[in-house]
Amino acid sequence: MSTSMLGHSSGPQRGTGNGRLSLCRALSGLMIAATLCVSAKAQEHIPAVGFQQQRAESASYLPTSFAEEFAEQSEDQNHHDGQHGVSENPAGQHGSGHGDSGGHHRAGHGTHHLTLPLMLGSYSRGAGSNNVLFPIDRLLVLPADLEVPALGAGMDPLIVTGTGPAPIIRPDTISTIGGLQQLYRQKFLLPAQTVVGMTIDNATFTSTLSLDQINASFMNTLQPYDVIAVQPPPGSYTPDVNDAFELTNTINGQTVYDPTTSGVIRSGHTESVAPLNLALAAGDMLDALYAFDYVVNLPIPSPSADGLLGRSTVGTNTTAIPTDRLYFDYSLVQNGVPFNRADNFDRFTVGIEKIIGHGEFSVEMRFPFAASMNGQFILENGRGSNETKFGNALVVLKHELGSNEQMVISGGLAISLPTGSDVEVVSAAGKSLIRLRNESIHLKPFLAMAFVPDQHFFMSAFAEYDVPIDGNQAEVNVDGTGLRGVGRFRDTSHILAACPDSCCAA
C-alpha cells in the first residue's frame, strides 16, 4: 500500500477514574483541563495550634488585612485547645491525598503572603490518541498463465482475459509483484499457496501503458521478467476479497486495492535463456498479481504524548507559587486501554519541586509510570504482557511574574522529554503491524494565577499551550513483509485553559 494511507485525526478520549483523596474530581474526557477550583472555609474552623509560637507564620497564610482579626480568634482557640489537648495543623494546610511532602511556599520577591492548597485535578485528557489508518492483513488474487491473444494496435493497452475464477491466496513468502519478480529472476517457481477464496469473475488484466510503451520498456531493461503496471482489477474482485478478509479478522476494516505492489509479469521459466526482454507476441504466457490490504482506522496512543499514561498538564496537582516539595501521586485509570475499553491500570507519578534564588523561581521534575502495562498492544484483545512502564519525564520551569497581598501571577515553560517506550501494535499471532517511536519533545509554555481575596475564598487557574517540536517515526507493515518507515507522525497541539470546578475544603 502507499504511504499516504498513514493519516490521523483527533481521536476519542478515554475515560479515567481518579484515585485521589481530594473532594473534587477532574473533568476527564475534555481537552479543556478542569483546573480552576474555588474553596470556602468557615472562619470559625481555622485551626491555630501553637499560635503563641507561630503567630507570625500562621497569620502570613492569609492576606495581611485579616491578620489582626485572625490573631484574636487564634488566641481564643489556642486557649480552648490547651484545655482539651487538641492538636491541629496550621492554617492553610490542605490534605490533598497525594502524598505531598514539604509543600513550603515562600513569599518571593512580591508583597504577597499567600499559601493555598495544591491545584485539584488530574491529567487533562487521555493518551493523546489519534486515529491512524494502517493495514492488518493482506490477500492476493493470482490470475496465472494468461495467454496473450492476437495483438492490436501498438497505441492500445494490453488486455488479456482467461477463464475464471481466479484464486484468492494468503501470502507466505511472496506478497508483492516485486517479490514475485525476484523469485523468477532467481529461477524459482511460485510455491504452493494457501487458497482462502475464489473470485467469481474471469481472470483478467488491463495494462496502464500501451503495447508500444511496454515493448520499449522491455528493450531498456538488462534483466528478465519486467513488471507491467496494471489498472485496477474488475469490480467484483474487491467484494470477494473482502468476504475472505472478514472470515479471518475480528476487527472491522476496509478492503483497499494497492496498485503500488500489483502488476503483471511473464510466467516463470519463460525467460530462462537468451534472448531476453523480447517484444510481446501472441501466445506469450503472463502471470498477474493483485494485492489487497485490510485497513483499520483505530486510535493509537502517541508515545510522545505520554502513551497510555495520559497527556500530563503543568497545572496537575500544583500551585502558581514557586514551592519546595516532594510528592507522590496515584490514579486508577478505567476504560483506558485501546481495543479493550473494559481494561484498567494503575498510574503513578513521583515528583520534586525546588525553589531557586529568593523564591521567585522554581524547577520541578515529574516521573510518571504505570503498573500492569506494556507499550505493546494486541490488536484483537487490548494490551500485552503486564510490566512496569515508564512515561515521559516532565521538567517545569516556573517564575513568579508579579504579586500583591491577594494575587500571584506566574508563568514559565514545561518540557516533556521522550523518556518513555515506543508504542507498537501486534496481532494475536505476533505479527508487528505498526510502531510509533517515541522521539518528539513537547514544549508547554504556561501562565498561572492564585487569588485569595479573604480567608473565606481562594482560586487558582492555569493555562498552557502544548506543542510538539517534531514528529515520531512511524513504521508500518505495509505489505506483510515487516515494519518499514513510512514517514513521521506528528502529535496535535493543544490549548489547555482553566475551567470552573467548585470544591469544598475539609
Do 336 and 282 fall into the same domain?
A: no
Q: Are residues 317 and 455 in the same domain?
A: yes
Q: Do 59 and 159 lie in a common domain?
A: no
315 and 276 in one domain? no
In this structure, is residue 19 part of a structural domain?
no
Residue 303 pLDDT greater than 90, yes or no: no
Residues 327 and 429 placed together within one structural domain of the fold: yes
The overall pTM is greater than 0.85: no
202 contacts 149 by C-beta, under 8 angstroms? no
Residue 298 has pLDDT above 50, yes or no: yes
- Phi, psi for residue 74 in degrees, rounded to 5: -65, -35
Measure the CA dihedral 234/238/241/243, to 10°. Answer: -130
Q: Is residue 8 part of a domain?
A: no
Q: Which of 148, 283, 151, 146 is nearest to 212 (CA)?
A: 151
Q: ∠ at Cα 310 (304, 313), nearest 5°?
A: 85
Q: How far is it, in rounded angstroms, from Cα 210 to Cα 321? A: 74
Chain centroid to Cα 317, Å, comes to 23
Same structural domain, 228 and 172? yes
* Residue 324 CA: distances (Å) to CA of 139, 228, 356, 447: 60, 70, 9, 19
Least confident of 71-85, 267-281, 325-339: 71-85
Structural domain span for residue 146: 133-298
Q: Report the percentage of the chain scoring pLDDT > 90.
A: 26
Choose the most confident range, by mean pLDDT, from 179-188, 252-261, 455-464. 252-261
The Cα–Cα gap between 71 and 55 comes to 7
Mean pLDDT of 331-339: 71
Helix (H) or strand (E) holding 80: helix 67-84
Q: What is the pLDDT of residue 117?
A: 61
Which of 123, 113, 124, 117 minimizes the C-alpha distance to 39?
117
For residue 13, being part of any structural domain is answered with no
Mean of per-residue pLDDT scores for the chain: 74
Dihedral of CA atoms 195, 198, 202, 204 in degrees, nearest 10, equals -40
Percent of the chain clearing pLDDT 70 (strictly above): 67
* Range among 255-264, 453-462, 471-480 rated most confident: 255-264
User: Considering 272, 298, 324, which residue would you say is the last residue of a domain?
Assistant: 298
Report residue 136: phi and psi, to 5°.
Answer: -120, -10
What is the number of domains present in the chain? 3
Tell me, yes or no, whether 160 and 236 share the same domain.
Answer: yes
pLDDT at residue 139 in the model: 95
17 in a structural domain: no
Instruction: Looking at the structure, tell me whether residues 432 and 358 fall in a common domain.
Output: yes
pLDDT for residue 301: 79
Whether the per-residue pLDDT at 475 is higher than 60: the answer is yes
Residue 311, C-alpha cell as written in the block: 497527556
User: pLDDT tens-digit profile of 26-72?
Assistant: 333 333 333 333 333 333 333 333 223 332 333 333 333 333 443 44
| Residue 18 in domain | no
Task: Judge contact between 278 and 218, C-beta under 8 A.
Answer: yes
Q: Is the peptide bond before 149 cis (omega within 30 degrees of 0)?
A: no
pLDDT of residue 192: 84
Q: Are 292 and 241 in contact (CB under 8 A)?
A: yes
Instruction: Say how far apart CA 212 and CA 357 lie, in whole Å.
Output: 80
Average pLDDT over residues 337-350: 74
Same domain? 158 vs 257: yes
Whether the CB-CB separation of 38 and 503 falls below 8 Å is answered with: yes
Examine the domain organization and report whether 259 and 387 are in the same domain: no
pLDDT (0 to 100) of residue 319 = 83
Give 191-233 pLDDT, tens digit per residue.
888 999 999 888 899 999 999 999 998 888 878 888 999 999 9
Of residues 435 and 430, more confidence is placed in 435
User: What residue type is 5 in one-letter code?
Assistant: M
Inside any domain, residue 228: yes
Q: Which of 270-284, 320-334, 401-415 has the lowest average pLDDT?
A: 270-284
Q: Is the pLDDT of residue 169 over 50?
A: yes
User: What SS3 state is found at 36?
Assistant: strand
Do 124 and 137 share a structural domain? no
Answer yes or no: are the C-beta atoms of 452 and 320 closer than 8 Å: no
Residue 25 has pLDDT above 60, yes or no: no
Burial of 346 (C-beta count, 10 Å sphere; 0-12/13-18/19+): middle
Measured CA to CA, the distance from residue 203 to residue 186 in angstroms comes to 26
| 492, three cell numbers | 496535535
Please report whether residue 182 resides in a domain: yes
Q: What is the pLDDT of residue 231?
A: 94
109 within domain boundaries = yes
The stretch 148-172 carries a mean pLDDT of: 89
Task: Give the per-residue pLDDT at 30.
Answer: 33
418 upstream amide cis, omega within 30 of 0: no
Give the residue, 300 or 47, on which the prediction is more confident.
300
Mark whether 324 and 464 lie in a shared domain: yes
Last residue of a domain, one of 298, 328, 346: 298
Residue type, 323: T
* pLDDT score recorded for residue 424: 87
Decide which of 298, 319, 338 is a domain's last residue. Answer: 298
Distances (CA, A) of 503 to 22, 41, 119, 121, 364: 9, 11, 11, 11, 26
Highest mean pLDDT among 58-67, 68-77, 348-357: 348-357
Q: What is the pLDDT of residue 46?
A: 30
